Amino acid sequence: DGDPDDSKDIHLTLMEEVLLLGLKEKEGYTSFWNDCISSGLRGGILIELALRGRIRLEPLSVRKKRLLERKVLLSSDAPTGDVLLDETLRHIKATEPAETVQTWIELLTGETWNPFKLQYQLRNVRERIAKALVEKGILTTEKQNFLLFDMTTHPVSDITEKQRLVKKLQESLLERWVNDPHRMDRRTLALLVLAHSSDVLENVFASLADDKYSVAMNRTKDLLDMDPEVEAAKARGAEMIWAVLAAFNK
């Protein structure tokens, strides 16, 4: 499912890519004002599992359900080798009846009023993703002393991977723009949706000249303003991306 033009050595999950885009490079933490990234990362877990063939949305029946009414079904419980993905897979496998995309994002984030569902919350997600990026040699670990507390931070030690990501997203909206989401590489489309949902898209376009910034932002807006119901009906293999977008647009 990767971009055929992309001969990268290191394979990152969508969650790792979103966190990397959101991190301040020297400081090694995300903006304190960003309250979207937690749920954005959980949306990334669902899309990553779908792209790897582990989960899918229930098929459209005679009574056509809307995207956010369709349940998340298990396709395969084969381990992925990623701790967060496998933990989520176990939750999805053990849950009867099945839940929707929106409900899974809320459960995995811990935003549920049901005390019996709190065991589904994924804890320390940002820290666990950061540790995976440390193991891949992209981040490093430091202790920062703030006024009232110490905090573990993860400054970027290998900037090339972040630069590659930013360049890939910028080019997908400028030089390689196809004006049709179904002709886009699925992981690139997913990353744009998740960067928007996690409020880190500004970091992707900040380095562009004003005219290119406007073009990239307008094209992204056009993409994100598309009707997920209509696009999902056309999209083989990308339904989960549109369902996650629908959940965040709600």
DSSP characters over 110-130:
T--S-GGGGGGPPPSHHHHHH
Q: What is the pLDDT of residue 118?
A: 73
Q: Is 30 among the domain residues?
A: yes
CATH of the domain at 72: 1.10.3630.10
Average pLDDT, whole number, for the chain?
87
Read off the amino acid at residue 60.
L
Q: Is 168 among the domain residues?
A: yes
pLDDT higher for 6 or 198?
A: 198
As for how many domains the chain has, the answer is 1
- Confidence at 60, pLDDT banded by 50, 70, 90: confident
Residue 155 has pLDDT above 80, yes or no: yes
Q: What is the pLDDT of residue 25?
A: 75
Q: Is 6 among the domain residues?
A: no
Tens digits of residue pLDDT in 62-87: 567 889 999 999 999 999 999 999 99
Q: Is 157 among the domain residues?
A: yes
Read off the amino acid at residue 191.
L
Which residue segment(s) compose the domain that 79 sits in? 14-249
Percent of the chain with pLDDT over 70: 89
Q: Is 47 among the domain residues?
A: yes
Residue 146 has pLDDT above 90, yes or no: no
- Continuous segment of H or E residues that includes residue 138: none
Going by C-alpha positions, the residue among 188, 202, 195, 203 that lies closest to residue 245 is 195
Long-range contact set of residues 147-156: C-beta below 8 Å, sequence gap at least 24: 151/29, 152/127, 153/27, 153/28, 153/29, 154/23, 154/28, 154/29, 154/130, 155/25, 155/26, 155/27, 155/28, 156/20, 156/23, 156/25, 156/26, 156/28
End-to-end CA distance of the chain: 28
Q: Is 120 among the domain residues?
A: yes
- Peptide bond just before 115 cis, omega within 30 deg: no
For the record, the structure tokens of 124 come out as: 């320390």
Percent of the chain with pLDDT over 90: 62
Beta carbons of 186 and 1 less than 8 angstroms apart: yes
Q: Is 3 among the domain residues?
A: no
- Confidence at 121, pLDDT banded by 50, 70, 90: confident
Residue 7 has pLDDT above 50, yes or no: no
